[in-house]
Each structure stands twice: as structure tokens, then as C-alpha cells.
């Protein structure tokens, strides 16, 4: 087997040698090239061999060793989080058993004044498809009307949309709901700037707690009844985070893939972080904050596109605790178009990278948190879960593995190629058992998206031009119910479905897979060819819902 691999691996060099032989054979009759050209070709071949042996092979071997270490780091993190999450379920360490959360009841003397004032913020930007859903859900929340303020923060630039949102707020105002429709002159700071501006209004100062929902989120009427008591009875808690539930998970393959990733995030990562050190990254919506914690932490910052994580990290370093209640679910919408999903993932990868760069020393020097919490934040929350995982997923499967086809000197351990990725995949699949049959497609999809996330992560670290780019994720709302989501809309132009980087890497993978099949006996093409197909599928945007511009 080894002999066959070596023989196949030297096929390309033999072909070059045959070419040089032809040149030499024809030198005498001068029918092909002159001796000088043959000497140049031979010197180039010798130079390539030297560069290959002395530079490329050692570098690639070092890359293999690095990927071995990173794969172990990622697997250990997945196992660790999985064990913690499982232990929480087995030991029944539910938030209701760890924290007092008795329902807030109306006092006979105080009346509704026994309920704390709650501010509900809904930031939006040209949300024509979903604004009625979010505003309606917020106004239907079960809470005394005189103790609730619904604040719609409209950054819309479309005059028609602004008028529709304003009319919706006025409609609910006539029904007795205290709805505040707020706008501002520009979109400075994007969502963070919008929320910061909303907190400056005088009526906010009388609100003890702040619930936040993005424009596509629809909380159940009992959301405040189930979340606010945690904050009322536990002064050390700053945040109650609920779980997301997706109304469009079955729309297409793209939304099914996202559901698998998001379910793992909420069922494992968020629950483990809360259980380990009462800290996790705020998801930016479907949560309730103690306003005091927001003020003490310095309020909203627009220095990165991860304003939610920024606030949570600053509050956590001040000693505030968070609680994640997975039994409370809030309906939301997953991006149905690949364009929307790519822009969302760019923001979610670029923002944390830039935030880690800006706050690394602040985390190390924090005096109000334990060394264990600092270690968790730096190593698990940032390095293992975001940096190491993203780099390993992209570099190993999309760069190193196909390159090894052309370098038989490289030896990739079987356990790194098969066993570790399989274990990581199975650990990720526990969040969505109903989609276990899609696990291979999910792995291929995540490997391709790792390219996009890695690029965004580099932009964040380097603070490049798109480091603070904010593109609002497109929502479709009821549009999908009115149009077929199976057929590709003809109005979608071809140039808008053409992603060069994915297509280039897909072509590289295809070439390496074909070469491996023809000249090698290690069967790497079994891993590389499907990945190439997925790169082409995403490069030509043959995934997700296509809608008119």
C-alpha cells in the first residue's frame, strides 16, 4: 500500500522528467527546442525540487502538526461543554431550582404599582415584512399596561415603511398600550447607536428592567411573567436570556442547516456557560436586562458589530451574573437567503474578533471576577469556540487536505482525518436530533461557511475596511407563504449569485480530488470531492430561498 502511494505520488515528477528527456532527445536535430531552453527547464525543475524539499514540505508538516493540536482543542471543548450540559440535565439544575423566581403578584394596597416598570425595546430598520409581528407581540405581553412601555426605535430610511410603522404604533396606542415611536436623524452606530439613543429618553429612567426584541421576534404573552421574576428576586442577576425558536426552519435546506447550528448553541453552549460561571454571550434579543447593569457597564458601545456581546462582557467583568432559561422560547426567523446569511455570519464573526482584540487586557486585569471566569472567557468563549474552531475547520478541510494530495511526503493521521471530525460532528448533532440524516450535508456546509467566517475574523483582527460593516439581515416574514420557496425566482440576476472565492476553492478541490483518484491510492478524493461540490453549490448560490430584489 505504501509503495503504491509513493509510486503514485511521484507521477507528476516522472511526467516532468519525461518532458525533460524529450527535450534532450530532440536537441540534436533541433526540431523542438534549443539546448539552452532545455537547460533552463531542467534548472527550473531542480529549483522546484529544492524549494519543495527544503521549504514547502517542512511548512506543510508544521501545518499538519498545528491542525492536530487544534483538532484536539476543538474536540476537548466540545466534550467539555457536552458533559457540563448533560450534567445540568441529569442533575436537574434548572434555573427555577437555583434562583428564586416566584411570580410577581399585585398587592392589594399598591395595586399595579407592585409590578416593576418594564421597557420593551424593538430596534428596526426598513422591516416592512415583520414590523407588525414584533410590535403586535410586544403589545400583547401580559403585564399591567401602566407598568409597561413599548419603545419602537425606527431607523428606517424608507418613508413608506416609516409611515407604516408609525401607524402601527398609533393603532396600539389607541388600545391603551403605552407605545413610544422614536426616530433619529441618522444611523450612527447602527443598532448599538439606536439602543443608546433610546435609553436617553426621560421616561426610560423610571424603568427598572429592559426587554429587547429584534424586529422578527415574537415573544409569547407570558414572556415577562416568566422572566422578570428572576431579576426581581435576585439582585445580583443582570440578564435573563431566553432561547430562540424558529418559525421557518423547514423552508429550505439553508434554514435546516442553520437550525442545527443554532440549536447546539442554545442547548449546549449557552447552557454550559451559564452553569459554569453564570456568563454567556448575550444574543442581542429575546432577553431582559436590569437597567442598572446596563448603566454601570457603560451602556451600549458601537466600537464593534457585536454590541450585544460587548455589553455582556463588560457587565460580566463587573461581577454581574446571567441566567439562561432554555424552557422559555421566543419565535424568530432564520435568514432564508444565502446573501442574508452571509452578511449575518460576517457580522457575527468579525465583531467578536475585534472585541477580543480590544478587550483582551481588560479581561486579564479585571478585579471583580475569578481567575476561572477569566480563563473561561479567554480560552473557551473566544479562542477554542471561535478562533481555533473556525481556523481548523477551514484550513484543514479546504486547504491542507487537498494540498496533501500533491505532497505524498505528508502523513495525516487517520484519527485526525476520520475519528476526531466524526466525534465533533456527532457532538454537534445532539441539538437537533430530527436532522441527524442531514449531518453530512451540514458538515460540508459548515466547512464552506468557515471560509467566510475566517475571512471575517481576519478583517476584525486587522480592523480592515469592513470591520464595522453592518448590513441588516433581510427578513421575509409572510412573503414566503405567498410565494413558492422551491422555485428560483427569475428576477434573481446571475451576477448576484456568483461568489468568486468559493468557486476558486471549489475548483482547487475538484482538481485535487481528480488527481488523487487518478494517481494516488489514499482515497482522499472521497472527502475532497463532496466538499468541492458544496463549494460550487454555495459559489453559484444554489441554496436558500431566492426572492425578487
Locate cell 448599538: which residue? 192
Is 521 an annotated catalytic residue?
no
Instruction: Note the Cα 324 to chain centre separation in Å.
Output: 19
How far apart are the C-alpha atoms of 393 and 449, rounded to whole Å?
Answer: 9
Instruction: Catalytic residue, from 155, 214, 302, 516: name it.
Output: 155
Pairing of strands 287-290, 237-246: antiparallel
CA angle 260–264–269, rounded 5-degree value: 160
Closest among 273, 270, 311 to 293, alpha carbons compared: 311
User: What cell does 315 get?
Assistant: 457587565
* Residues in a beta bridge with 121: 151, 212
Helix, coil or strand: residue 220: coil
How far apart are the C-alpha atoms of 411 and 313, rounded to whole Å?
Answer: 42
How far apart are the C-alpha atoms of 431 and 448, rounded to whole Å?
Answer: 21
Locate cell 511548512: which residue? 59
The strand order across the sheet containing 237-246 reads 179-182, 148-154, 118-124, 209-212, 287-290, 237-246, 321-332
Other Cβ atoms closer than 10 A to 463: 15
Is 155 an annotated catalytic residue?
yes
Query: Residue 518: which residues within 8 A CB-CB, separation 6 or more?
Result: none
* Residues in a beta bridge with 244: 330
Helix, coil or strand: residue 430: coil
Instruction: Catalytic residue, from 216, 308, 380, 516: name it.
Output: 308
Which residues are part of the catalytic machinery? 155, 308
Amino acid at each position: 500500500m505504501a509503495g503504491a502511494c509513493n509510486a503514485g505520488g511521484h507521477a507528476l515528477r516522472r511526467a516532468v522528467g519525461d518532458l525533460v528527456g524529450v527535450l534532450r532527445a530532440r536537441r540534436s536535430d533541433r526540431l523542438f527546442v534549443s539546448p539552452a531552453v532545455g537547460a533552463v527547464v531542467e534548472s527550473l525543475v531542480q529549483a522546484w525540487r529544492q524549494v519543495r524539499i527544503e521549504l514547502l514540505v517542512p511548512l506543510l508538516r508544521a501545518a499538519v502538526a498545528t491542525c492536530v493540536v487544534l483538532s484536539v482543542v476543538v474536540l476537548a471543548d466540545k466534550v467539555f461543554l457536552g458533559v457540563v450540559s448533560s450534567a445540568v440535565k441529569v442533575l436537574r439544575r434548572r434555573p427555577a431550582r437555583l434562583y428564586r423566581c416566584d411570580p410577581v403578584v399585585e398587592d392589594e394596597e399598591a395595586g399595579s404599582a407592585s409590578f416593576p416598570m418594564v421597557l420593551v425595546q424593538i430596534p428596526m430598520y426598513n422591516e416592512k415584512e415583520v414590523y407588525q409581528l414584533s410590535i403586535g407581540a410586544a403589545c400583547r405581553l401580559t403585564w399591567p399596561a401602566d407598568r409597561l412601555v413599548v419603545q419602537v426605535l425606527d431607523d428606517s430610511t424608507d418613508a413608506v415603511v416609516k409611515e407604516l410603522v408609525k401607524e402601527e404604533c398609533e393603532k396600539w396606542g389607541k388600545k391603551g398600550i403605552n407605545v413610544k415611536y422614536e426616530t433619529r436623524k441618522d444611523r450612527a452606530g447602527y443598532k448599538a447607536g439606536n439602543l443608546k439613543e433610546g435609553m436617553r429618553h426621560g421616561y426610560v429612567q423610571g424603568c427598572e428592567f429592559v426587554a429587547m426584541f429584534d424586529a422578527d421576534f415574537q415573544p409569547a404573552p407570558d414572556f415577562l411573567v416568566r422572566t422578570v421574576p428572576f431579576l426581581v428576586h435576585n439582585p445580583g442577576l443582570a440578564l435573563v436570556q431566553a432561547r430562540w425558536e424558529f418559525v421557518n426552519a423547514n423552508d429550505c435546506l439553508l434554514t435546516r442547516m442553520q437550525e442545527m447550528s443554532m440549536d447546539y448553541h442554545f442547548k449546549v453552549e449557552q447552557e454550559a456557560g451559564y452553569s459554569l460561571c453564570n456568563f454567556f454571550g448575550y444574543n442581542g434579543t429575546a432577553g431582559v436586562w436590569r437597567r442598572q447593569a446596563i448603566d454601570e457597564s457603560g451602556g451600549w458601545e458601537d466600537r464593534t458589530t457585536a454590541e450585544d456581546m460587548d455589553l455582556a462582557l463588560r457587565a460580566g467583568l463587573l461581577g454581574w451574573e446571567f441566567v439562561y432559561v432554555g424552557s422559555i422560547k421566543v419565535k424568530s426567523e432564520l435568514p432564508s437567503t444565502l446573501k442574508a446569511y452571509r452578511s449575518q455570519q460576517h457580522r457575527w464573526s468579525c465583531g467578536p474578533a475585534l472585541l477580543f482584540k480590544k478587550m483582551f487586557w481588560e479581561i486579564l486585569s479585571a478585579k471583580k471576577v475569578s481567575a476561572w471566569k477569566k480563563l473561561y472567557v479567554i480560552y473557551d468563549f473566544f479562542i477554542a469556540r471561535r478562533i481555533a474552531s473556525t481556523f481548523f475547520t477551514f484550513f484543514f478541510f479546504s486547504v491542507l487536505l487537498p494540498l496533501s494530495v500533491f505532497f505524498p511526503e505528508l502523513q495525516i493521521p487517520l484519527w485526525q482525518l476520520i475519528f476526531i471530525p466524526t466525534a465533533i460532528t456527532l457532538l454537534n448533532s445532539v441539538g437537533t436530533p430530527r436532522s441527524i440524516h442531514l449531518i453530512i450535508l451540514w458538515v460540508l456546509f459548515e466547512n464552506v461557511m468557515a471560509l467566510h467566517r475566517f475571512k471575517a475574523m481576519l478583517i476584525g483582527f486587522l480592523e480592515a475596511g469592513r470591520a464595522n460593516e453592518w448590513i441588516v439581515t433581510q427578513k421575509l416574514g409572510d412573503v414566503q407563504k405567498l410565494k413558492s420557496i422551491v422555485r428560483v425566482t427569475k428576477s434573481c440576476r446571475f451576477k448576484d449569485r456568483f461568489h468568486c472565492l468559493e468557486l476558486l476553492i471549489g475548483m482547487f478541490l475538484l482538481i485535487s480530488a481528480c488527481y488523487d483518484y487518478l494517481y494516488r491510492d489514499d482515497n482522499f478524493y472521497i472527502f475532497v470531492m463532496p466538499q468541492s461540490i458544496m463549494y460550487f453549490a454555495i459559489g453559484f448560490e444554489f441554496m436558500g430561498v431566492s426572492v425578487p430584489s
